[in-house]
Chain A
């Protein structure tokens, strides 16, 4: 049984706009799956429905076989807008400790877990600073640390690197792969960046324009050890990237014929 099962998921907003057509896919434990699609196709809506933040109008999501109605205990989300997601009135350390506060840990244990999480994302020395004192990349690392501090089974990420500059993006991509492999966590990441989806993923789901449906489910045949320069030059990467780009363009043509 897969860790995460999505079957027949569809959502229409009140007023009639259909964001997602019926989507079905699974994610196995330990996989890093990227969902890539054009802007406005409903990727974020999909992620929110999987997270339990939005009750879908049709279909269902199952985590560990249990239906997801509200946000399940074993799941964490990283949002795109880190500056609005971290709480400005808490220091970075306290932000990361935040989800631990109601899990029956005492202060020392919380500090330890938070320090560990911050260390894993490379922010060991920044615990006492407030979020606004950190750069964009560091803030998103802090948000990732906060998501990981409870050791969730599934990590959902909504275009997490879209709001940072290009070079920071590469660093964060590597960080994510490193942390994911170290922890053997399962990640479902939504992005509009084709290169990023191929570089990061074990599998890529390609979505059509709104209402989103799955155009293709591609396995990424790249080695587990990836490097920003050599992997991106490799023929497999280029071929896969091209295929996805053609799929996106093709489905766009089908939706709006020239």
Chain B
């Protein structure tokens, strides 16, 4: 029943959009109707050049996320398990975190050139924080009753870490990874769009929007980017639910 409603809702939105452009509420040159945009999406997905762009984006995203996880999870585990270290580095983390990676785009391009290294570097930088933060947070949220129970049963310390601490903290870590996945994709596409040097969905959008401005292509490519992000998020959410069915960790930001 819910699926039917979702479909109905989607069709309603598309219908409103279409109607809006036809009656002139929204200028069709600026915001083409779905009938045009969706056709464009189908076209784009059939073009080799665009598909190469998509692959370039997704590949950069995957690499960035992998590096971020490899750095942030161990760092988070270390920082999180020693309370004094956690408090001490908190201020540093809080100061560095708000610096938006996009502000560093010009610098990074100067340093590493305009190729994929730039967007990967920036995406890694932006993606580290949610994972780090959530890992540390997850370690802090371990119910002391659980660890005490384990200790009362005579469980050796290392075993407590793997059998109690890790499973308790894991859902938080995965939520952090999910947030980072979304951020990484946004940073990759944004860097492609703002710097324009390397291949990718963002560069395709940049090309389409410059000059005469093919807004239909812009919207089509944006929809594709959104679809990829949506698929990634849903996929990770389902994975998390499958892996941690017992977890009550919040599923939203």
Direct contact of A and B (CB under 8 A): no
Residues of chain A at the chain B interface (Cβ within 8 Å): none
